[in-house]
Amino acid sequence: MSLLFSPLTIRSVTLPNRIVVSPMCQYSAEDGLPDNWHLVHLGSRAVGGAGLVFAEATAVEPAGRISPQDTGIWSAAHVEAWRPITAFIKAQGAVPGVQLGHAGRKASVYRPWDDGDGAVAEGGWQTVGPTDQPFSASYPVPQALAPADVEALVETFAQAARNAVAAGFEVVEVHAAHGYLLHQFLSPLSNTRTDEYGGDQAGRLRFPLAVVRAVRAAVGPDLPVFVRVSATDWTEGGLTVDDTVEIARALAHAGADVIDVSTGGNVATARVPVGPGYQVPFADAVRRKAEVATAAVGMITEPHQAERILADEAADLVLLARELLRDPYWPRRAAAALGAEDTPPAQYARAF
């Protein structure tokens, strides 16, 4: 029996298999509202056979968007816009998930294919961060968050989580990776505060932990909460995998069910040794040492590669990103390669 195609129950939610569509920014929303692009993009991956389909990093407030074209979930209008998308995903037998994010000092920038680099020239906004240190010279200079602002953002995340449940999402992931706001607080390279939200690791962890506790309370006891982390900053003096093991233990104690292990994103000049499965050892280390379920992501492209990650007990779930952009039906191809049972939609059965 293929491990990749075995179900996994987390709290009250059962994933039909271990294949997860990783959150992938589409930079195609207006005023944070998802539209037909998002319905077709996410719906295609559900039709393609993934067990859990994550929507992209979705901003908890307007200032939390990476670009002006990011999706959001801060209002009733956003809830209504997401509902037909989550309903379609569920109708295909997949589980809809959302990643709640705040870009912090990496906000208010051009989307990748627009002309321009860094801070948007028109339509931008004041960014925030743990300090007033920008991500790079071309990025906006953030405003350092006061303690009261940090506390208010905890409730902002909680309200976004309540909105996510109302919109039909059944898994909520807190984005604390890739150099965005919560990662900015976690890393000693970007958080040089001396108040209760800085200093040692316990201080730097205070804000992310408060967010996870608030999100857990907001979604209730039945739905899974994931947290994406960057296990290393790939830079001397930054976060290491040993730090991340301690962070993961604390996050699990705060209510996280799965630690989604990625790396990098907080240092513009970091040199990342990208290659097939290059982040899997970090998921493995966190799983074994922190004794928490993990998800592996990063250059996972082949069915037997994904199966081996699970067989080696390096992770409990496998997330694919660019490979699922290239082939939305990768899970069905993987089922054939691994000899697993597959039940495509009736409309597509003749092809399989």
- Cα 11 from Cα 135, distance rounded (Å): 38
Determine the Cα–Cα distance for residues 75 and 32; give it in Å rounded to an integer: 10
* Cβ contact 55:13 at 8 Å: no
Alpha carbon distances (Å) from 119 to 98, 108, 124, 129, 237: 26, 6, 7, 15, 27
Distance (Å, whole) CA 151 – CA 114: 34
Q: Residue 233 corresponds to which tokens in the numbers above?
A: 């900053």
Other C-beta atoms lying within 10 Å of the C-beta of residue 235? 17
180 is catalytic: yes
Task: Return the beta strands (E) in 130-266 as ranges.
Answer: 143-144, 171-176, 225-230, 258-262
Torsion sign (Cα): 53, 55, 100, 134:
positive
| Length of the chain measured in residues | 352
Out of 110, 180, 197, 329, which one is annotated catalytic? 180
- Cα–Cα distances (Å) from 91 to 109, 140, 259, 344, in that order, read 35, 42, 27, 12
Closest CA to 181 of 108, 278, 281: 108
Q: Count the neighbouring beta carbons within 10 Å of the beta carbon of residue 147.
A: 12
Residue 171 · residue 13 · CB < 8 Å: yes
Q: In the structure encoding, which two tokens stand for residue 317, read together?
A: 């779930």
Residues 190, 245: Cα–Cα separation, whole Å: 19
Query: Is residue 72 classed as helix, strand or coil in its secondary structure?
Result: strand
Structure tokens at 53: 């389909």
Active site residues: 180
